[in-house]
C-alpha cells in the first residue's frame, strides 16, 4: 500500500496501452473516443470558466472509469478553485487515475505527481513540479492553466508572464485553445505592468475566443490599474454576456466592476453590485467570500454603513471553516471577523493558522504577511489607527508573498493609507498615495472624515 501522506502512485505491471489524442495532439490513455471528446469539451469550459465542466466530465468517467486523463482533469478542476475543501475530492480523483489498468503516458505520470503534491496540501511543491512538467509538455493546456493559477496564488508575479513566454513557441494561432494561452499571457503582462501590451493581447484573445472570461478579466485589470474606471465599466458592460451568467468568474468580475464604481465615488452602485452579485451564497467557495470581504472593507473605509452584511459574511466564513490552508483567504476571513465583531470566528482562524505556520510549506512563507495583516485589520476596526499603520508598513514591501493580484493586494496599502490619515499622519498618507500612483492605481481619495467603528458609520451610501 502507498504511504497515505505520499498518495497513490502508478503501478506499471500488466498495464494496457490504448490511446486517443486531445485537440492539441496530447495523448490520452483511454479506450473510448467519447472520453477524449468529453475531455476536450470539459477543458474548454474550464479554460473559459463557463457552465459546469464537472457535469460534462462526470458521465464520461462513469462510463469510462479507467480514463486516466479524465481523472487528472477532474482533480485539476477541484484544485483550480483554490478552495481547501476541494483537496479531498481531488485526491480521490487522483486515486482513481492511479488505479486504472491502462498504461499512463509520461505526461500523465508527470501531471499526476504534480497534482498529488498540490492536493496533499503543498501547492509550492505542486507548482515546482508543474514548472518542470511544462518544459517537457508545453502544449498541455490543463497543466498550463493550473500552473498559471498556482503562480497567482503563490505571488509569483513574474512567472505569470514568463511561464506563458516559455510555452508560446510550441503553439500556433491555429491550435485549439491558443486564444486561452493569449488570455493568460495578457494577465501576466498586466501583473508585470506592461499595460499597453497586456490590453492589446487581451483584446486579441477575446476576438479569438469571445467567451474567454480570463482575457476579459485581464483587460479589466488594465483599466483598473491605469485608473480608467469609465473605460473599465464600458468594457465590462460590453462583454457582460460572456461572463455574467453561469460563469465561474461572475462574482469576481462583478467585484472588479464594483471597484471601478468605487473609483468614481459611486458608492451606491458598488453596494448594489454587492447585494445583487457579490454577496456569497451558503455554498460559496473561498474566492467569492474573499471578494465579498474586500468589497465591504473598501466601502467601510469610505464610511458607508453596510448594516448586517458583515455578520452574514462572517457566518459564511465560519460555515466554510477550512482556515490555515491559504494565507490570502485567511486575511480576508480575518477582515470579516474583525468587522463583524466575531471573536470566536477569529479565534478559530488563529488556531488553524498557528498550526499551519508550524508546518513546512507555503503557509509558513505567507505568515510574514498574514499575521501582521490580520492584526492590523482588527486594529483598524478598533480605531487603533497608529497600531494599524505600524503593523502594515513592514508588510507592504513583501505583500506579494501573500498571493493574488496587485488590485487585490492594494487593499493593504489602502488600509495603511487610510489609517495614517485618520491618525493624523498626513505626510505618510500622502507618501502611500504617491506609492500607489507609481503603479497608476486609482487616486480617488477615500473622503470619509468620520471615525470608522462598529457603532459609528454613515447610515446611507454616498
The cell 483537496 sits on which residue?
A: 87
pLDDT tops 50 at residue 454: no
Q: How confident is the model at residue 165 (pLDDT cuts 50, 70, 90)?
A: very high
The Cα-based distances of 345 to 212, 275, 337, 339, 342 in angstroms read 37, 23, 6, 11, 5
Predicted local confidence at residue 440, as pLDDT: 59
Q: What cell does 299 get?
A: 466601502
pLDDT tops 90 at residue 380: yes
The helix/strand count (H/E) of the chain reads as 23, 2
Predicted local confidence at residue 3, as pLDDT: 37
- Hey, what domains does the chain have and what are their CATH numbers? 19-155 (1.25.40), 258-462 (no CATH)
Predicted local confidence at residue 362, as pLDDT: 78
pLDDT tops 90 at residue 40: yes
Q: What is the DSSP string of 248-265?
A: TTHHHHHHHHHHHHHHTT
Predicted local confidence at residue 203, as pLDDT: 99
Per-residue pLDDT tens digits for 236-288: 999 999 999 999 999 999 999 999 999 999 999 999 999 999 999 988 989 99
Q: Please compute the mean of the pLDDT values over residues 294-307 and round it to a whole number.
A: 95
d(CA 460, CA 161): 42
Among the ranges given (33-47, 95-109, 153-167, 437-451), the one the predictor scored with the smallest mean pLDDT: 437-451
Q: What cell does 3 get?
A: 504511504
Q: What is the DSSP string of 174-222?
A: TSTTHHHHHHHHHHHHHHTT-HHHHHHHHHHHHHH-TT-HHHHHHHHHH
The cell 468594457 sits on which residue?
A: 235
Q: pLDDT above 90 covers what percent of the chain?
A: 84
Among the ranges given (130-144, 414-428, 432-446), the one the predictor scored with the smallest mean pLDDT: 432-446
Q: How confident is the model at residue 459 (pLDDT cuts 50, 70, 90)?
A: very low
pLDDT tops 60 at residue 443: no
Per-residue pLDDT tens digits for 320-375: 878 998 999 999 999 999 999 999 999 999 999 999 888 877 788 888 999 999 99
Looking at every residue in the chain, the average pLDDT score rounds to 91
Q: Please compute the mean of the pLDDT values over residues 169-188 and round it to a whole number.
A: 98
pLDDT tops 80 at residue 414: yes
Predicted local confidence at residue 455, as pLDDT: 34
Amino acid at each position: 500500500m502507498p504511504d497515505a501522506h505520499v498518495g497513490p502512485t502508478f503501478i506499471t505491471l500488466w498495464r494496457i496501452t490504448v490511446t486517443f489524442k486531445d485537440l492539441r495532439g496530447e495523448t490520452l490513455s483511454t479506450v473510448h473516443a467519447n472520453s477524449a471528446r468529453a475531455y476536450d469539451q470539459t477543458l474548454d469550459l474550464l479554460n473559459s470558466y463557463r457552465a459546469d465542466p464537472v457535469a460534462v466530465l462526470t458521465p464520461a468517467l462513469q462510463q469510462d472509469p479507467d480514463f486516466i486523463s479524465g481523472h487528472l482533469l477532474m482533480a485539476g478542476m477541484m484544485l483550480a478553485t483554490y478552495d481547501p475543501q476541494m483537496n479531498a475530492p481531488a485526491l480521490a480523483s487522483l486515486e482513481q487515475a492511479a488505479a486504472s489498468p491502462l498504461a499512463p503516458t509520461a505526461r500523465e505520470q508527470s501531471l499526476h505527481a504534480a497534482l498529488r503534491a498540490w492536493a496533499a496540501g503543498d501547492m509550492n511543491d505542486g507548482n515546482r513540479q508543474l514548472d518542470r512538467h511544462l518544459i517537457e509538455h508545453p502544449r498541455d493546456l490543463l497543466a498550463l492553466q493550473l500552473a498559471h493559477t498556482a503562480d497567482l496564488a503563490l505571488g509569483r508575479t513574474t512567472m505569470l508572464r514568463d511561464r506563458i513566454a516559455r510555452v508560446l513557441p510550441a503553439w500556433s494561432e491555429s491550435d485549439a485553445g491558443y486564444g486561452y494561452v493569449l488570455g493568460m499571457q495578457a494577465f501576466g503582462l498586466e501583473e508585470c505592468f506592461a499595460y499597453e501590451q497586456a490590453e492589446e493581447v487581451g483584446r486579441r484573445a477575446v476576438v479569438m475566443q469571445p467567451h474567454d472570461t480570463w482575457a476579459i478579466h485581464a483587460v479589466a485589470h488594465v483599466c483598473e490599474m491605469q485608473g480608467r474606471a469609465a473605460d473599465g465599466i464600458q468594457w465590462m458592460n460590453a462583454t457582460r454576456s460572456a461572463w455574467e451568467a453561469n460563469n465561474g468568474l461572475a462574482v469576481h468580475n462583478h467585484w472588479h466592476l464594483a471597484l471601478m464604481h468605487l473609483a468614481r465615488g459611486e458608492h451606491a452602485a458598488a453596494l448594489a453590485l454587492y447585494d445583487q452579485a457579490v454577496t456569497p451564497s451558503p455554498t460559496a467557495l473561498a474566492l467569492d467570500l474573499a471578494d465579498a470581504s474586500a468589497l465591504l472593507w473598501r466601502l467601510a473605509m469610505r464610511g458607508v454603513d453596510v448594516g448586517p452584511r458583515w455578520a452574514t459574511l462572517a457566518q459564511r466564513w465560519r460555515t466554510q471553516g477550512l482556515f490555515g490552508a491559504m494565507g490570502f483567504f485567511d486575511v480576508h476571513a480575518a477582515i470579516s471577523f474583525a468587522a463583524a465583531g466575531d471573536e470566536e470566528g477569529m479565534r478559530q482562524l488563529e488556531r488553524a493558522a498557528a498550526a499551519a505556520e508550524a508546518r513546512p510549506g507555503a503557509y509558513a512563507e505567507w505568515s510574514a504577511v498574514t499575521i501582521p495583516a490580520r492584526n492590523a485589520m482588527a486594529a483598524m476596526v478598533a480605531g487603533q489607527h497608529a497600531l494599524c499603520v505600524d503593523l502594515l508598513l513592514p508588510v507592504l514591501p513583501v505583500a506579494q508573498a501573500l498571493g493574488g493580484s496587485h488590485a487585490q493586494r492594494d487593499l493593504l496599502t489602502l488600509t495603511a493609507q487610510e489609517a495614517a490619515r485618520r491618525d493624523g499622519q498626513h505626510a505618510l498618507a500622502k507618501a502611500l498615495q504617491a506609492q500607489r500612483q507609481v503603479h497608476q492605481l486609482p487616486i480617488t481619495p477615500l473622503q470619509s472624515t468620520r471615525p470608522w467603528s462598529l457603532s459609528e458609520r454613515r447610515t446611507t451610501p454616498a
